[in-house]
Structure 1
Amino acid sequence: MAGNSFGDIFRITTFGESHGSAIGVIIDGCPSNISIDENFIQSELDKRKPGQSKITTQRKESDTVQIHSGVFEGKSTGTPIAMFIPNEDQRSKDYSHILDKFRPSHADFTYQSKYGIRDYRGGGRSSARETAARVAAGAIAKLFLKQEGIEVFAHVSGVGSIESPNIDPTDLTDLLALREENIVRCADPATANEMISFIDDIRKNGDTVGGRISTVIRNVPVGLGEPVFDKLHADLGKAMLSINAVHGFEYGSGFEGSKMKGSEHNDIFIKDSTDKVTTQTNFSGGIQGGISNGMDITFRTAFKPVATIMRDQNTLNLEGEETTISGKGRHDPCVVPRAVIIVEAMAALVIADHLLKHRSYTHAR
């Protein structure tokens, strides 16, 4: 099956199914002599793993990562990095009731139609379990970007109709601490409490709800992005839209910018106290003409409600006959608390790849 690789220079290929023996990732193109902190990689996976709280799936996976190649004495060697994450808590029998039925808004029908076969156990390759491999790869990308002074931060900024107030991203370390103090991963504590109560009520009613994740990437140098089809915001959009359940992406002013006049929206160039070129506002989201301009890169990612609900629904079976289906197993009532780290990982992979592309040009050395 094609479509399992992402990136051009800093390139990843993921493998494995939700109920197979393991999932994993191969990273090719990671520069040598990057300090590889295995504890950091594991801590990133711990933020995505299931069973964290009452508002996430209760599947129990330690997501313990094993590095099989590409690292020696704590440093990347420049050769492919292979990472392996065993599956430990498969309950395939939880899915026996759907072996010949199509779950509404899942990939069951499309996979069956495309390939003539599907792994019905948790969705197989279409399962969000695959994203653990992306988080592992993204952690390596973050370690590379850290040596370049580049920071990536995301948090849950909306659940259902609940929106958090705009946060001041001046100190990302402080925001990270605030985010990790609550199980919904919102950097505004008051809004976090409201979101948690709302998600828990949704869960008790056997339903699910969607949400939004806001991201800021700081200290990105000017010049990342390739005209015309590999624009930086286009690659960020592809990265986000490749994540399970993502239905929307906007950067900078996004859709709100379409309501503004040019005189309101234009980012006026100025020089700061260090004589550096900057802009008075950042409606462009740090990207102009598809190329980073040195300002913070900002974007929002929208996630639909999780498709599996604990209620009876009408559907069709493999023979095209009308039937009913009921949700069973262990599923998230809202995916965004665990998706924050996936968004960060994909963003880090895009920036790492574009940074290496940028350095391949003579003028950028």
Structure 2
Amino acid sequence: MRYLTAGESHGPQLTTILEGVPAGLELLAEDIDNELARRQLGYGRGRRMQIEKDRAQILSGVRHGKTTGAPITLVVENKDWTHWKNYMGAEPLTESQEKNMKRQISRPRPGHADLNGAIKYGHRDMRNVLERSSARETTVRVAAGAVAKKLLKTLGINVAGHVRMIGGIESNYNGGMTLEEMQRVSEESPVRSLDEQAAEKMMKAIDDAKSNGDSIGGIVEVVVEGVPIGLGSHVQFDRKLDSKIAAAIVSINAFKGVEFGIGFEAAKIPGSEVHDEIEWSKEDGYTRKTNRLGGFEGGMTTGMPIVVKGVMKPIPTLYKPLQSVDIDTKEPFSASIERSDSCAVPAASVVAESVVAWEIATSLLDKFGHDRIEEIASNLSQYKSYSQEF
């Protein structure tokens, strides 16, 4: 499977085309809308979430509630487009319109793609960069992820996400919940935390940052259960599934780090406390006593839950703007202010679920077939029996 996205933050719509989704998968617009709604929630979101009520239109590849195997087109309209037609329209500007253009941006914001993108593509108005580099693009990545999640769930694989840390406030959750409980508890929390006491402190940290005109980041965690042994491969660097998931995580706007299982903690302790000992039983086949490596060895899944964390930096758009340089005058100025969130970590948790789900679904189809959901399910079932008895 693969997909492309198109569209700008204040353009008419965001679009994604998904290719390679197998035929026969039950898929409704509400499956996607539920995920889009989750992305818009979370303590610390800005006013944009009050304007946009994201809904997906399925324009191809689905007939009477089931995928056909053809490319799927998903569209999410930007309701705010009505206020931006004169600034973001595709038609050339008249001379008078160009003179009256008041929203040209020549002051790059530190931490954004503004300056690098402007230099790379030769844009004097950096709105051409920031409109596409905006995290608004993750809307349709979540839409694509919703399709991947539906595919995985149909095949007995489930995904959950939660927030580990916001602004230095860390959740004390150390396991014990089922995946279903994790989904429910995180969904009920305004910051998607599994630790109620930590959640209160996280919300206060967000309030403090907002009142100071600042922003804060955090750490999210995605857990995937039901994945069979052997997705990915050890034979080439670009076939390792953990590397693909790592790339997907850091592709999310403002994400700067990723780790699996105990991650960087493995650098501090001996190997005897890192590696997961192997067990076998007739009922469960091969399992591990622990899951410190987060479900991966040699670029392949071990059959244990996949556990991956992503680190999100604070959003760089601040209401007490940092210093920058005007690219036209070369004079120092305070950076431009665009409407923004004080903290988007809870929403980013949903995005992380989506990109991880997509990579796992893609790898699953690479191993078990691409054409029909019934055929894929049959192949997966046979493989599970084979690996259990191996």
TM-score, normalised to structure 1's length? 0.91
Q: Percent identity?
A: 38
Q: Which moved more, 1:261-270 or 1:133-142?
A: 261-270
| Contact persistence 2:164–2:193 (CA under 8 A) | yes
| Contact persistence 2:117–2:129 (CA under 8 A) | no
Counterpart pick for 1:313 among 322, 337, 346: 322
Counterpart pick for 2:307 among 298, 302, 306: 298
* 1:3 aligned partner: none
Q: In the TM superposition, what whole-angstrom CA distance separates every residue of 1:74-115 from its partner, at most 9, and x where no partner exists?
A: 00000000001111125658x956611111111111110111
Note the 1:7-26 alignment, pairs <5 A: 10-26=1-17
1:293 maps to amino acid? T
Q: Which moved more, 1:324-333 or 1:21-30?
A: 324-333
Residues 146 and 54 of structure 1: is their aligned pair in 2 closer, same or farther, counting only changes over 3 Å? closer
Q: Which has the larger radius of gyration?
A: 2
| Contact persistence 1:169–1:175 (CA under 8 A) | no
Note the 1:243-254 alignment, pairs <5 A: 243-254=252-263
* 2:376 aligned partner: none
| Contact persistence 2:118–2:126 (CA under 8 A) | no
Note the 1:338-349 alignment, pairs <5 A: 338-349=347-358
1:101 correspondence with 2:90? no
Whole-angstrom CA distance in 1 between matches of 2:208 and 2:129: 25
Whole-angstrom CA distance in 2 between matches of 1:267 and 1:37: 40
Secondary structure, aligned partner of 1:89: helix
* 1:65 aligned partner: 56
* 1:322 aligned partner: 331
Whole-angstrom CA distance in 2 between matches of 1:331 and 1:292: 38
Whole-angstrom CA distance in 2 between matches of 1:327 and 1:119: 11
1:151 correspondence with 2:158? yes
* 1:7 aligned partner: none
Note the 1:32-111 alignment, pairs <5 A: 32-49=23-40, 52=41, 55-59=44-48, 60-90=51-81, 99-111=105-117
2:44 maps to amino acid? I
* Offset, 1:320: 6.1
* 1:269 aligned partner: 278
* Offset, 1:328: 3.2
1:336 correspondence with 2:345? yes
1:120 correspondence with 2:131? no
Whole-angstrom CA distance in 2 between matches of 1:343 and 1:113: 30
| Contact persistence 2:106–2:326 (CA under 8 A) | yes
| Contact persistence 1:252–1:284 (CA under 8 A) | yes
| Contact persistence 2:278–2:289 (CA under 8 A) | yes
* Offset, 1:175: 1.5
Note the 1:221-240 alignment, pairs <5 A: 221-227=228-234, 228-229=236-237, 230-240=239-249
Runs of 4+ in 1 over 4 A off after TM superposition: 90-93, 95-98
1:190 maps to amino acid? Q
| Contact persistence 2:43–2:203 (CA under 8 A) | no
Residues 359 and 312 of structure 1: is their aligned pair in 2 closer, same or farther, counting only changes over 3 Å? closer
Whole-angstrom CA distance in 1 between matches of 2:286 and 2:62: 39
1:38 maps to amino acid? A
* 1:193 aligned partner: 200
2:347 maps to amino acid? R
| Contact persistence 2:9–2:131 (CA under 8 A) | yes
1:207 correspondence with 2:196? no
Residues 338 and 114 of structure 1: is their aligned pair in 2 closer, same or farther, counting only changes over 3 Å? same
* 1:283 aligned partner: 292
Residues 264 and 112 of structure 1: is their aligned pair in 2 closer, same or farther, counting only changes over 3 Å? same
| Contact persistence 2:107–2:336 (CA under 8 A) | no
Q: In the TM superposition, what whole-angstrom CA distance separates every residue of 1:204-261 from its partner, at most 9, and x where no partner exists?
A: 1100011000111101001100232121110000000110000000012210011110
Whole-angstrom CA distance in 1 between matches of 2:181 and 2:307: 18
* Offset, 1:40: 2.1
**More helix by percentage:** 2
1:24 maps to amino acid? T
* 2:366 aligned partner: 357
TM-score, normalised to structure 2's length? 0.86
Secondary structure, aligned partner of 1:235: helix
* Offset, 1:167: 3.8
